[in-house]
Structure 1
Amino acid sequence: MASQVYAFAKIDDRDARLAVYDEIKNGKSRFGMWDQEASLRDRWYGKNAFLLRIKKGDWIVHVNMPQYGKCVAVQAIGEYDFDAGIKCHWGSDFNNFIPIDPASILEFDRTNPNVLGSVNLAPRRRAQRVLEVNDFLKSIENLREGKFDETRKEDRSIVHLREKMDGLLPQITSHIHEMNKSKEFENFLHKIFENMPNTISVQNGFGWRSDNGADLLVEFENPIIGINVSTKLVVQAKSYSGQHFDTHAIDRIVTGINHYKADAGLLITTATETERLEKYIREKSEETGKTIDLIAGADVAKFVLRYAPELLIGN
């Protein structure tokens, strides 16, 4: 069976996070749920049941460990187990663990250039599968070799060009914000979604009293052997500057998901993401059982350039 990869989200309590970090070094990748009193093999806890599917050879990435922006990747050498856990200020917790090989530990920045961009290390729930397994394994290989730690001479011009372009992306997003405030930003995003193949975008109301949590309702139609499978997405659009701390838009997305029976939610904000915002998105994804995602800051410019570059540079 092919390897699986799981990303475990940040542990918010600092002391507990550092204790789990120490346990990783001692060969145990721990996962907590404060009110769990028995092994999953003895008593069913649905939200943690995925732990029973982790096998020898699978990978676990502890995200924002031991601090925000860092990651610790480890490889399992056995299957799920349960013990007394670690002592936290609220009691015993993190009783669930997967035995791991300490020799496999890799610590790196979440934005390390050796990690392929397709590898999602920003889980929106307490635990989330990384679907691009081959790209993840390639990233592990890159990290071990330090393949992109230093730029090869023949690639120097390309890498430096990309670096300069990356520096322009926040400026592009800033200009998008300046030219598209409030409803104009919704109209702008509507044009982008309309530009995508097999996609229907609906501008949904004028103001929070009438849109039921969705600035845009986007349906992606994916034909599979003549059968159309549709995915409904609730989008909140926020044209802000600076950092995005406000979590109200996420509450509105939850309202929209429930009202329209949507499959997922998405916040697109011209402001840059914050730890507080990422944490709240993760909590609400976990609570609703629906993926809520985020496009923020410089990624807004990338989103536009990928799907509707003509909106920025013309014909």
Structure 2
Amino acid sequence: MSIYALRVDIAKEVYNSLKDEGVARFTWSYSKEGNLKEIESKIKKFGWENLTEIEKDCWKANFMLSIKEKDYIVYINVPEYGECTVAKVTGEYFWNWEKYKSDGSHCLLIDKESIRTFNRNDKNIPSDLTRRFGLQGKYWRIYLEDKFYNLLQDIDDKKITGELASSESRLFNCINEKINPYLESICEELQHYHVGKYLEELIVKVLGEIPEIKNISRKSGISDKGGDILFDYENTDVFGNYSQKKCAIQVKSYEGIINYDQAIKDMKNIFEYDDSLDLGIIMTTATSIGEEFNEKLEELNKELLEKKKEKSVTILYGKDFARWVLKYGEKFFNR
């Protein structure tokens, strides 16, 4: 059994297809040329170089061909921001452009009875599992199978209550749909005005507005050890036990799609250099992530898990980076 986390931009449509049709959908499928099985056959017969540019782009979703019956998929921020929807797969990949004629035509059959929706920030979800429900690209694997199964049981036992919900978070969700269409443009403007070291300076300023974050330090010069920004953050578990965690941020000022994996190599070096780190974050103004980058990030997290370390690396980019700046940097907009 494998668990796949998916990020889609058509949350409502995907959620309706799950609930009403028993069909899980994924994007990178904006053209009728996007049938992964046909593209796979064409590659085997004629080679990669004979694909059209559209076919090459749609092939980024080829991981869908690896998803099998009894695997699980988890949609991040579906149906609403901060929520996750999980479903069990009952049938292998199929192409359904004829029905949808739009992005979201990569499909899998799922068991409608298996659908569960929960708040990823619920206080009763283990923090390492919550972290894996944070955005890390367009798709990634979740390897904490035992904790995932326990989560499904806890949902059925009504132990996952969404208790962290507040008037602030409900307001955020209320206006999120109106703000979302502008977030990518905001990220592009952040890139325009904050190239290189200026992006690091902005992130440090915003981090300073988050009460739980302490001891922020920014490295100067070029180094592959220690990260661009270091800080400690306070953590309290469900039993009220307090601890202080350490995080490293690698900053990448970038335009468009990021497929260059130097940030991941840097993160690997950072964890090897400083074993006291608990979390790594790649923060970038890139508006999308390439397939190769996504695979390298997944490999790094799997490697950290195999070393039995409660450590992980996540990425904040595009719309979610802009949302983060807007949320915590609000005081700077009122000057």
TM-score bucket of the superposed structures, by smaller chain = 0.5 to 0.7
What does residue 214 of structure 1 align with?
Answer: 227
Aligned length: 217
What does residue 314 of structure 1 align with?
Answer: 334
Which sections of structure 2, spanning at least 5 residues, go unmatched? 7-36, 42-61, 77-84, 91-108, 122-132, 157-172, 306-310
Report deviation, 1:182. Answer: 0.8
What does residue 141 of structure 1 align with?
Answer: none
Give the distance between the partners of 1:196 and 1:189, measured in 2 at CA: 11
Residue identity opposite 1:239 in structure 2? S
| Residues 279-298 of structure 1: pairs in structure 2 closer than 5 A | 279-289=295-305, 290-298=311-319
Report deviation, 1:226. Answer: 8.4
Q: What is the TM-score with the length of structure 2 in the denominator?
A: 0.52
| Residues 1-315 of structure 1: pairs in structure 2 closer than 5 A | 7-8=3-4, 21=67, 23-24=68-69, 28-29=70-71, 60-61=72-73, 73-74=87-88, 104=111, 120=134, 125-128=141-144, 162-209=176-223, 212-222=225-235, 228-261=242-275, 262-274=277-289, 275-289=291-305, 290-311=311-332, 313-315=333-335
- Quickly say closer, same or farther: Cα 1:7–1:207, change in 2 above 3 A: farther
Deviations 1:37-82 (A, max 9, x none): xxxxxxxxxxxxxxxxxxxxxxx32779xxxxxx982189xxxxxx
Report deviation, 1:222. Answer: 2.9
The answer to whether the Cα contact below 8 Å between 1:244 and 1:271 also exists between their aligned partners in 2 is yes
Give the distance between the partners of 2:281 and 2:231, measured in 1 at CA: 10
- CA RMSD in angstroms comes to 4.3
Identity of aligned residues (%): 21
Give the distance between the partners of 2:244 and 2:200, measured in 1 at CA: 22
Deviations 1:226-248 (A, max 9, x none): 86411111100111111111110
Give the distance between the partners of 1:212 and 1:287, measured in 2 at CA: 19
Which sections of structure 1, spanning at least 5 residues, go unmatched? 30-59, 65-70, 77-101, 109-113, 139-157
What does residue 27 of structure 2 align with?
Answer: none
- Quickly say closer, same or farther: Cα 1:201–1:125, change in 2 above 3 A: farther
Give the distance between the partners of 1:74 and 1:226, measured in 2 at CA: 34
